[in-house]
Structure formats: structure tokens, C-alpha cells
Structure 1
Amino acid sequence: MGNRGHTQYRTTRRTSNFSITLYIFLFFVLSMFVFFYYTKDIVEDEQKLVLTSEKKEEPEFDENEDNSVWEASKSHGLHPCIKPTAKYKAALGWNRYLTVKSNGGLNQMRTGIADMVAVAHVMNATLVIPQLDKRSFWQDSSTFSDIFDENHFIKALRGDLMIIKELPKEIESLPRARKHFTSWSGVGYYEEMTQLWKEHQVIHVAKSDSRLANNELPLDIQRLRCRALYSALRFSPPIERLGKKLVEQLRTRAKRYVALHLRYEKDMLSFTGCTYGLTDAEAEELRVMREKTNHWKIKVINSTEQRIGGFCPLTPKEVGLFLQALGYPPSTFIYIAAGEIYGGNTRLSELKSYFPNVVFKEMLATPELREFANHASQAAALDYLISVESDVFIPSHSGNMARAVEGHRRFLGHRKTITPDRKGLVEIFDQLEAGQLDGSSFSHLVRHLHKNRQGAPRKRAGAPPGVRGRARSRLEESFYQNPYPECICSSRE
């Protein structure tokens, strides 16, 4: 009896312990289920919150937008190629020095400096860091190191030629051969110029722009020009930093943007003699300015003939019509890469009536721009950087910057660059204004006219048929506008 009771007690205790354990296990499982269930909701809510927050920070983007207006042409496997050939040899320089006075605005000086690098190599000379133009229209007192990364320029071209910051003191007082080298000259011309070394250790070049021909130069000289312009001639660190910052700010406002080089500035209109759309008072102001500018050879210009011939920059209103006809929506962000627009906000409003999202660099980073005040070339460098990085680049006139940016964008992979056919557009604009075209027909004509003017790969164009002599070299497409084929190769090369 006693043993059976004891056994029953142990069995009852084991059953009780098992039940307690089972209850604890079930409670644990239930707790874990509840925990994971509610944690899942919390995580999902947090993810939704993060996604919502990220979505708010993204620039607005219209899903119904025509993406073809942003797409660049196929590059067909083309890529930059600027390495020298196996036959290439660096210039020794020795005791021969080339000093240079660069002339013009920023991009005229940039391409001129690249030319001088090649000329120094051909003449087997040491290049002294060029002096920049301080007497041009822009009146910019900037030195080379204010605009460009001087040390990088010297190091990057170390395998090509010797570059020094200034003449050695023992050389400074020696007489120099002062030369105005002939424009668009070939290698043979500069090989003849080496005769100057027999009597002089220093040759001073008074002007640097367009000193080399566009075509028929040795491959290694052409590639040296590209190495100088696209690799060595980098902007100074402050300019590079601010340029990058401005691009980032644009990207936070818009997923994509158009850089418009709107050459509707007082000096450009006066130089070209274009007065279409201006008041009589404005036209007279430009005429007086042209007559007072000594180095502008043509003083009397027929404005109507200039416009019909396609020599005038597009007006802000014409640019608005042009972009609208190409298919860009009104929400498109447009960065104006230019100086002060002639006529100010009154004239600019003609563009804003079509595209209200128009911005200048001053609207993006005013405090940082203070150090660039009164330095037009440094400010132009910012416009250059932003234009090169844009999704689409459109120049309203074919000036030095327009050509330089187009060439750089071609070099970097044929980024979309639309060059307006101004002569063809004038005829279409006039037909639209006369009521001879409706909106649909106008858009069709504009798109057809620019089908093959959007930066697709092509070899550099020569001079127009029938042109001979020195004028032929002058009318050829600029090497720096399209460095293909010398500096842009196929994947097979």
C-alpha cells in the first residue's frame, strides 16, 4: 500500500511537471508569434516611411515624358584614344624657350594653349606657363593658376615636353624673337620657324588662338592637342569643386537638365549686328558700341541680312519655340550658361513663358560665387563644367564655348548636343509668325531639320566645296569641335 501510494505520487508529480513545461513552451511560442507579427508591421511601416522620405527627395519625373528627347545617339563602340604611338618622342627643350601671350575669352585661350603645347613640341622647345589675356572685352585679371591647375598641367605633360612656371633669371634679360605665327599652319611651317633658334634662345608668341591647322597634321600631334586640352588643362581646385557642387544641386532639383548657351549678350549682338526683336533704342546702343570697338573690322552691318543668313544668335523666344517643337515638356529644367542677357528679365520672360524652370549659377550658389566676382573667365569655367555634364547641351550661336563644349562631349562618348540650324530655323519661324504653319507642322519641320544635328558620331567636316587657299583652312570644322577620328577610336583599335 505504502509503495503504491508513493509510486502514484511520483507519477502525479511527473505529469504536473510535464504540464507546466508544456504550458511554458506554448506560452513562449505564442509570445514569439505575437512579437514577430507586430515587429513585421513595425518594420514594414518604417520601410514605407523611408521609401516615402526618399521619394520626396527625388526630383520630379513625368512618366509620360518622351524619353527620346533625352537619349544620346549610339556611340558604336567609339572611345577616347589619346596615347602616343610607338614612334612618338618627347621634346627635349634644352635651352630653347617659348613664351606665350594667350588672347581672347576662356575657351579661345584654352584651345590656344593646347595649340601652343603642340607647337612647343614641334619646335623642340621648353614652354613657359602662358600669360592670360587681361585686356579683352571681359577685362579679367585672372592668372593661369587662378583658372587652371598649374602643377597638374606641368606634371600631366611631363612625358611630352618641359613646362616651367617662368623663365630662368639669367634668361629674362636676353632679347626675344617676337612672332605672330601664321594662323592654321602645319608642321612644316613650324619646322621652318626653328631657324629662329640660331639667333635667339627665347621666342615670344603674341597670339595663341588658331595657330595650328585643323587637318593634315601628324597623328601624334593631334593626340597631343587632345591630351593637353582634355587631360592636362584641368581647372583650378576651387573651380572644380564649385562646378561639381552646382551640378549636384541641379540634380537634386531635376533628374535631367538642359544646358543652354544663350548667347543673347550685349557684346555678341553688337559684334554680329543682330537687332531682330530689339527696340530702336537698343539697336542704336549696339550700333554705337560696335563703332567704338577698334578691332571689330565690319562697322556697318545689315541686321536683316545677318538674320536670314543664319549668323544671328537665337532670341530667347525663338529658343523657347525651338525646344517646344523638339518635344521638351514645359517642366524641363534649363540651365543658362551665359553672361547677362541683353534686355534682362523682360527678354528672358519670353523664354520662361514656354519653360518656367530656368536657372543661372547665381541662383544655385550665390555665397560661393563671391570669390569669382569680377572674374569673367573663372565664372565661364563654371558654365563650361555644368554644360559638359548636362544631359543635353544646346548653343544658340556657334561661338568658341559652343565648339569647345561640343568637342568635349563628343570626346566623352558623344553626349547629346543639339546644334540649331539657324538659317533653316529663321525661314520656319517667319512662316509660323505669318500664320502659314500650325503647331504640328512647325514641330514636324523643326524635328526633321535637326534629325542629324544631335551629336552623333561623324568625321570632322572639311571646308565647303569650291573654297581654296587660306580661306579653306579657316572654314574647316574646328579640330576642337570634333576631334574624330584622331582622338576618338573604334573598339577594334
Structure 2
Amino acid sequence: MVNSRGYSQVKRSSVVRFLSRRPSPSAITVYMILLFAFSLFIFVFNARDILDNEHKSRFSEESLSQNQSQSVQMSNEKLWDTPLNYGLRACASPTAKYKAAQGWDRYITVKSNGGLNQMRTGISDMVAVAHIMNATLVIPQLDKRSFWQDTSTFSDIFDELHFITSLQNDVRIIKELPRELESLPRARKHFTSWSGMGYYEDMKRLWEEFQVIHVAKSDSRLANNDLPLDIQRLRCRTLYHALRFSPLIESLGKKLVERLRSRGGGYIALHLRYEKDMLSFTGCTYGLTQAESEELRLMRENTNHWKVKKINSTEQREEGFCPLTPKEAAIFLQALGYSPSTVIYIAAGEIYGGKSHLVELTSRFPNIVFKETLATPEELKAFSKHASQTAAIDYIISTESDVFIPSYSGNMARAVEGHRRFLGHRKTITPDRKELVKLFDKLQSGQLKGGSSFSHIVQEMHKNRQGAPRKRRGPLPGVKGRARFRTEESFYENPYPECICRSKRANLK
């Protein structure tokens, strides 16, 4: 303690003596020079750090910008890219054991029923049935009594000569029944739906009594599964090769595809099944006025061949049995990530309610295109009042689109999806309507907000619903008897594995 205090006193005394001295002018000058030099050194050092940091900051911002650009580009590619096909390819050629039908003196006449694609798949079935029953097929008569009241004949829609010649090694096909047979009695049959080989082998007994069998309906005459490979491939050859549309339809369809691509490259074909007949048939009235709902109810009541008359619209929608409304389709497209500038072709007939129901879709996606805006009035004149022919144009544009999105799983949606699978699994996004309805209702009530989180939910929900290769689904579990055939996935919706071959190197479960 004593030593410490003594040291402090000595130190204070030295400082007092130092401060009491006046510094010389030369010392002040040296001191100022040293102070200036030190300040200059500090400034240069700090300035170098500031410049380095600024350079690093700019570099980081540029990198971030590049990364964001790459991220957007990758996301854009993901939106348009075709799913991996694992080396799969179309294969509809017959096997070495295949033999053509030789039934020169037995004839099958057919009355096709339904809209365009219901008739197309039905005709493909009847070609196969004619082969199984060893008969000559007469060019089918098309349905003229459906909702659309289309008077088109077979040759108005299809290339008749091509149909006959391309199947000449499979089934004999003629334009008309020979005159000498027109007055003969015919076996008039409603062949049982989704029947297999055994059923048609048994039907051959009809040839013992009749030379001509008339089939009143053509749709769903064959089972989806458990048929010989050559019969399944014959169905594919018929649908994807022989049933080519007429030259007039093919020509316009290709022109319109070229015009769509000239607008900016890729386009989406949206099969917006928001038409009067579909809404009336399904009983779906969500978003409609009371007057519109009543109009649809009366139409359903007055259409004799629609067996179900009373339908709960709310239950239909909650179960996913209703087509998406134009507004719901717009929300869905946005959630998937498609930009407002996307070119979208509406593959459909007249939209029920017209512009009043389309405003939510067109406001979000201004580049909406219809046949009427894509083709000239002169080009469409030949197809006016022929719904099956205009549907054929929609079919071509939908099949060739970069992305196909059906708002409802109807005959055209299933046929286009199957054709796109056959052509290399082109991108087809099938909305999960049952789950989407839940999300739409939560958005409407405010329980769920739009934006990135909503988009993420929708995208995750549909990442495995984009047309990637998979085997055809069988019947729903628990369904017994013949009812199970109705629940199977349609052969024409997914012709894998019979008409889509896997290479030895492909690894697909």
C-alpha cells in the first residue's frame, strides 16, 4: 500500500512538470505532420474496405438476380416439360400369331351413339368385335339424335377411304350392306357392355340363323382389361391410325395449331366442359343464377334417355363430379404457376352463360383464344351447325397442345389423354376436383389465403397427375359383380401396357 501511493505521487509530479513546459514550434510542426499522416492512413484503409464491401455487395446482388432468373427459368421449364417416359414407345403392330378376319359372308351393321369421342371409341370397339366374330363391318351410321342434333355422316368427319384401306389386313370393311341382303331379317342386338372374348365367342351362334347382325349401340362394347394382346392393339390401330379425320378437318386443325404457336411458342388447351348439356346432365348449378339452374333442371327432366332426374348439386360438387367453373379453372391455372400472358385455347362448345361466366377467367388470362377468334368466318363456315366436326378440330388442337387440362373427366378428356399417352406421354394435368373444391371453398370463406402457400398446396396435390407413365387402373376395391367393370379406368384413357412398349433398359414399376 505505501509503495503504491508513493508511485502515484511521483507520476503526478512528472506530468505536472511536463505540462508546465511550453512545446517548441518545431515540436508542434512534427506533431501536426504525424497527426495528418496518421489520419490519411486511417482514411485510405477504411476507404479500401468500403470499396471492397460495395463491390462484394454488387456481386452478391448480381448473383442473387442471376439465381432468381435461373429459378424462374427452371420453374417455367417445369411448367411446360413433358414427363419422363422412361424409354416407353407406342406399339400397335400385331404379333406374329395374328390373323385377319375372313368373314366374307357375315355382316355387322352399327348405329354409333353419343358425341364425337363416344362414337370414335365405340367404332374402335366394333372393329375389334367384327374381328372376334369373323365378320365384315359396314361403315357405321353416326348418331344424329344426340343433344347437338348433328347431321354429319361418317365421311363428313372421317377419312373413309383411309379407314377402309388401313384396316384391310385386320377386318373387311365396306361402305354399304349389299342390296341383296337389305331385305333379309337381322339379329338386332344390344351387346352387353364391357364384355370379353367368351361373350363374343358365344355370340357367334347368331350366324347359324342370321347373315346380318345389327348393333344398336357401339360405346363400351368391350372390356377394358383381360383381352388378348392383338385385340387391344387392334383397338389402338383403329383409334390412333385408321380413324383419321377428313382432309378438310385435318387441314384446318393443323393451321390453327400453327397460328397458336406463332403467338409465342407453347399453349395450353383447356377443355372447359362448362356447356349446357354437361351442366344439365350432371346437375351442377354452383355459381349459376336461380333462373339458369331452373333452365337446366327442365332440360334434364325433358331428356328421356337421361335416367337420373333429381340431383343434389352440392353433393355432386363436393364429390368432385362437377366440371370446374371458369373461375375455378382460372384459380387453378394461377396456382399451378402459369403467367397471365399464357396462351390458352378453349376447347369446348358454347360456354353456358357466355361472357358473364367467362369474365373471371379472361380477366386473369387475357390471352384466351376460341375457334371463333383463331379462325376466319370463311374457314368455319363449312363446319357451322356440325358440332361433331368442330369437336374434331378441338380434338386436334388439344392433342397437339403443349399442355392439356380437362375441367371434367368426360369422353373427350379421356380420349385426348389416352392419345397423348400413346404419342409419348405429352403433358396432361388432370385436376383433382374433389380436393380442389375444398380449397376453393376455404378461399371463399377466408379460411385460406391465396398466394405462394396456396400455390404450393395445389402444386403438391398435382405433381403426380401430369400424364407420366403408369399402368391402367383396375376396378375400385369392394365393388363386385359386373358393376366393377364400370369403375375400371378406360382402355382408351390409358392404353398402357398393351399399346405402349417398354424397352429392356426402362425401369418402370
- TM-score normalised by the chain length of structure 1: 0.86
Decide which of 96, 104, 107 is 1:94's aligned counterpart: 104
Decide which of 110, 126, 141 is 1:116's aligned counterpart: 126
Q: Is the 8 A contact 1:432 1:442 kept in 2?
A: no
Deviation at 1:379, TM superposition (A): 0.4
Aligned partner of 2:498 in structure 1 is 486
CA deviation profile, 1:209-246 (whole Å, cap 9, x unmatched): 00000000000000000000001010000000000001
AA of the residue aligned to 1:478: S
CA deviation profile, 1:58-97 (whole Å, cap 9, x unmatched): xxxx969722111111001000001111111110012000
Q: Is the 8 A contact 1:290 1:296 kept in 2?
A: yes
Are residues 1:410 and 2:421 paired? yes
Aligned partner of 1:384 in structure 2 is 395
Deviation at 1:491, TM superposition (A): 2.3
Q: Distance in 1 between matches of 2:454 and 2:297?
A: 33
Q: Is the 8 A contact 1:313 1:396 kept in 2?
A: yes
CA deviation profile, 1:258-292 (whole Å, cap 9, x unmatched): 00000011111111111111111111111111111
AA of the residue aligned to 1:425: L
Give secondary structure in 1 for the equivalent of 2:268. strand
CA deviation profile, 1:78-133 (whole Å, cap 9, x unmatched): 00001111111110012000000000000000000000000000000000000000
Segments of 5+ residues of structure 2 without an aligned counterpart are 1-71
Are residues 1:423 and 2:411 paired? no
Q: Distance in 2 between matches of 1:345 and 1:404?
A: 28
Q: How does 1:17-416 map to 2 (within 5 A)?
A: 66-366=76-376, 367-416=378-427
Give secondary structure in 1 for the equivalent of 2:364. coil
Q: Is the 8 A contact 1:417 1:455 kept in 2?
A: yes
Q: Distance in 1 between matches of 2:121 and 2:262?
A: 33
AA of the residue aligned to 2:213: I
Deviation at 1:254, TM superposition (A): 2.4
Give secondary structure in 1 for the equivalent of 2:382. helix
Q: Distance in 1 between matches of 2:187 and 2:145?
A: 22
Q: Distance in 2 between matches of 1:382 and 1:124?
A: 34
Aligned partner of 1:460 in structure 2 is 472
CA deviation profile, 1:346-387 (whole Å, cap 9, x unmatched): 111110121111011111112201000010000000000000
Deviation at 1:492, TM superposition (A): 3.2
CA deviation profile, 1:185-226 (whole Å, cap 9, x unmatched): 001100100000001100000000000000000000000000
AA of the residue aligned to 1:376: A
Aligned partner of 1:16 in structure 2 is none
Q: Distance in 2 between matches of 1:65 and 1:449?
A: 17
Segments of 5+ residues of structure 1 without an aligned counterpart are 1-61
Deviation at 1:343, TM superposition (A): 1.1
Q: Distance in 2 between matches of 1:76 and 1:390?
A: 21
Q: Distance in 1 between matches of 2:360 and 2:173?
A: 49
Deviation at 1:431, TM superposition (A): 1.1
Deviation at 1:442, TM superposition (A): 1.3
Deviation at 1:298, TM superposition (A): 1.0
Q: Distance in 2 between matches of 1:304 and 1:158?
A: 51
AA of the residue aligned to 1:221: I
Q: Is the 8 A contact 1:70 1:392 kept in 2?
A: yes
Q: Distance in 2 between matches of 1:431 and 1:233?
A: 45
Give secondary structure in 2 for the equivalent of 1:243. helix
AA of the residue aligned to 2:249: I
Equivalenced residue count is 432
Deviation at 1:453, TM superposition (A): 0.3
Q: Distance in 2 between matches of 1:70 and 1:416?
A: 8
Q: Distance in 2 between matches of 1:271 and 1:344?
A: 19
CA deviation profile, 1:288-319 (whole Å, cap 9, x unmatched): 11111111111111111011010010000000
CA deviation profile, 1:139-188 (whole Å, cap 9, x unmatched): 01010000000000000001111100011111111111100000000011
Q: Distance in 2 between matches of 1:170 and 1:435?
A: 72
Aligned partner of 1:38 in structure 2 is none
Are residues 1:475 and 2:487 paired? yes
Q: How large is the RMSD of aligned CA atoms in angstroms?
A: 1.1
AA of the residue aligned to 2:235: R
Q: Is the 8 A contact 1:65 1:329 kept in 2?
A: no
Give secondary structure in 2 for the equivalent of 1:66. helix
AA of the residue aligned to 1:106: L
Provide runs of 4+ in structure 1 moved above 4 Å: 62-65
Residues 194 and 415 (structure 1), Cα distance of their counterparts in 2 relative to 1, 3 Å cut:
same
Decide which of 422, 443, 461 is 1:432's aligned counterpart: 443
Q: Is the 8 A contact 1:246 1:365 kept in 2?
A: yes
Deviation at 1:441, TM superposition (A): 2.0
Percent identity between the two aligned chains: 76
AA of the residue aligned to 1:482: N
Structure with the greater alpha carbon radius of gyration: 2
Q: Distance in 2 between matches of 1:298 and 1:204?
A: 28
AA of the residue aligned to 1:462: G
Q: Distance in 2 between matches of 1:491 and 1:370?
A: 47
Give secondary structure in 2 for the equivalent of 1:154. helix
